[in-house]
A and B are shown apart, each in its own frame.
Chain A
């Protein structure tokens, strides 16, 4: 039972990581580590994304041209950071995704409310 739930949660995360990342980048440009940290804190660790998971996901977004990256120097003693910024295409997709997400969650709510009623 537990493993079935785990599996489902994994799938759910996989589907929503892209949406969450684009949402964060819509606000401001972020570097990889900052992005995973924000994702974990803002969602109270619902996402629990590992760094090593985040980078390949970011790469996929980048090759789809939804986000862009650039290198920027960090503080003294630290290596340069790779910042990501959202592209107009990314913004457009994000709006569509948000709409779809709302549609789905409202539909779910409605189904559950109907049962109760």
Chain B
């Protein structure tokens, strides 16, 4: 006899399954297996219920009857979790600490916004002023507010979802020690230190208790009190029957390396919102690391230079120089700007290399004979220079030929030959380092990483946005919007060159030559202490609705770049059609 299932019956079975699986926290592999098993069981039970009443059609009522005889979904789920508990890996110190740091940041941001708004209403002035003006009881009130909101945040999220935002991002879940979901009692007890010990020593003591006393169970002291555990269902614990779960041996042996591997595996499998959040988080971390490193190094160089300058002045004159601003003149000192630029781009390359090697565990350099690699690199570099010369030289020619810009000064007549040669050498060093640094960072790493995740189109656009933003310099006068838009289009073109040629050296050549020409033929004033070959006068901006949007040369530049993009697109299309060669990655 063939049994039929009505659509409603199938739906009822899936609803029931969803109810049970939604309350389950198991290793991913186990989840799939359990779901399959439970589905099969529900179908069998429903079928036999229908057979019992002499029908060959299983209806939703049969499914409901079966469900009524069984226990509620939560109990079934916790029964499973209990048996599978040994398969779940306990979260260690680092994932927990990172999750807590993320939660603290979110919480603090929310709290500060509330406090700021509330204080603004009572006390005028800046945030710091109003904080210092605030009466002592207000400070107590603020502390109480922070503790209460922290409690609410942790307790509500952990009871409702079994995890906080930080734990979710790191793939952690809080459970009772026997595997059941935690209730308000457990959530309250285990969060006494995280909520009250905000920025205080108790949290550290609590975590230390875990490392010293309860490291076997990976419980903090207050986890012990609440009898709760934190697990990471994304990774599997190495078991004697590990192969059955398809676990690679050695992958999850613990330690920071093991956890990173587990995190990497989790990130690789992530889908939907979690995938986007992880990608965004990684890019944010990357940008932050680069920014911090550059600031520290450049600041260090500034302070070092000033220190040497002052020491020199004191030693030679015996007094502290009274000419005030020791920073003045540095930005037009060619030595200084070359060193800063080279250091900055060493940071770009180093950070990209660290991320590639440590975070992604990928090889740093391509394999193969060195001579061939260098030869290819040189050819791609030359091609990049050639492509860019069409763009940038036509740009310079455009402003001169149309008379939009005139030659203000000719460096060839103004400067002595040795001064000019020195300037050109330094400019080449500077622009070559910019080409290498920015292209390796924005194109090779960011665009390469994003194209693995989302494909080439999205990768080029996002990498170009990330490339354009740091070029908007808030410290000097803002350039016209069209100039920034032009830079964005320029970045798209370079990104597309990378996608088409597959060689970062083509992008480096392109970028290097662009900056070399821009530095050598600047408009209005010399840049970074470079002695210009030709100093051009600026052009008049077009004014639309009282906003200076940019000059005609910006429009021309964008048109040329769009033409280049179109040309590259057609070339790539034809090449693939004629040669049918797989695109180099």
Contact = CB atoms under 8 A, between A and B. Distances in A.
B449 to A, nearest CB: 38
Contacts of A75: 2-3
B40 A52 contact: no
Interface residues of A, number: 27
Interface in A31-54: 31-34, 37, 50-53
A78 B44 contact: yes
B39 A79 contact: yes
A90 to B, nearest CB: 14
Contacts of B43: 78-79
B239 interface: yes
A78 B239 CA distance: 33
A82 B5 contact: no
Interface string A51-65: 111011101101101
B248 interface: no
A52 B45 contact: no
B580 to A, nearest CB: 41
Nearest to B4: A77
B37 A55 contact: yes
Given A77-B3, A79-B36, A51 B45 contact: yes
Contacts of B47: 78
Contacts of A71: 36
B45 to A, nearest CB: 6
A88 interface: no
A77 B80 contact: no
B36 A55 contact: no
Nearest to B1: A75
A59 B69 CA distance: 22
A77 B41 CA distance: 14
A50 B70 contact: yes
B399 interface: no
B140 interface: no
B329 to A, nearest CB: 74
B83 interface: yes
Contacts, number: 71
B83 A59 contact: yes
B44 A33 contact: yes
Contacts of B4: 77
B117 to A, nearest CB: 50
Query: Is chain B's binding surface mostly helix, strand, loop or mixed?
Result: helix
A75 B44 CA distance: 11
Contacts of A79: 36, 39-40, 43
B379 to A, nearest CB: 55
Contacts of B362: none
Q: How large is the interface on B (under 10, 10 to 19, 20 to 34, 35 or more residues)?
A: 20 to 34
Given A63-B239, A65-B241, A52 B70 contact: yes
A67 to B, nearest CB: 12
A60 B80 CA distance: 10
B225 interface: no
A52 B47 CA distance: 17
A55 B37 CA distance: 8
B83 A51 contact: no
B45 A56 contact: no
A52 B71 contact: yes
Interface string B1-12: 011110000000
B79 interface: yes
Interface string A70-81: 010011111111
B65 interface: no
A60 B83 contact: yes
A52 B79 contact: yes
Interface string B65-87: 00001110001100110111011
A75 B5 CA distance: 13
B38 interface: yes
Contacts of A34: 44
Nearest to B71: A52
A29 to B, nearest CB: 15
Contacts of B82: 56
A13 to B, nearest CB: 14
A63 B241 contact: yes
Nearest to A75: B2
A57 B44 CA distance: 19
B68 to A, nearest CB: 12
Contact of B37 (A32, A57, A76, A77): A32
B203 to A, nearest CB: 36
Contacts of B80: 55-56, 59
Contacts of B241: 62-63, 65
A39 to B, nearest CB: 14
B283 to A, nearest CB: 41
Given A50-B70, A51-B70, A79-B36, A56 B79 contact: yes
A62 to B, nearest CB: 8
Interface in B47-62: 47-48
Contacts of B70: 50-52
B385 to A, nearest CB: 61
Contacts of A80: 36, 40
Contacts of A53: 79
B78 to A, nearest CB: 10
A82 B87 CA distance: 20
B86 to A, nearest CB: 8
A63 B87 CA distance: 10
Contacts of B86: 63
Nearest to B47: A78
A56 B83 contact: yes
A76 B47 CA distance: 12
A82 B40 contact: yes
Contacts of B84: 56, 59
A51 B44 CA distance: 11
Given A55-B80, A56-B83, A74-B40, 6 more contacts: A33-B41, A59-B84, A76-B2, A77-B5, A79-B39, A80-B36
20 contacts: A32-B40, A32-B41, A33-B41, A51-B45, A51-B70, A55-B34, A55-B80, A56-B80, A56-B84, A59-B84, A63-B86, A63-B239, A65-B241, A76-B2, A77-B4, A78-B40, A78-B47, A80-B36, A81-B40, A82-B36
Interface of A: 31-34, 37, 50-53, 55-57, 59-60, 62-63, 65, 71, 74-82
Q: 9 tightest A-B contacts by CB? A: A56-B83, A33-B44, A52-B76, A79-B40, A51-B41, A59-B83, A82-B37, A33-B41, A56-B79
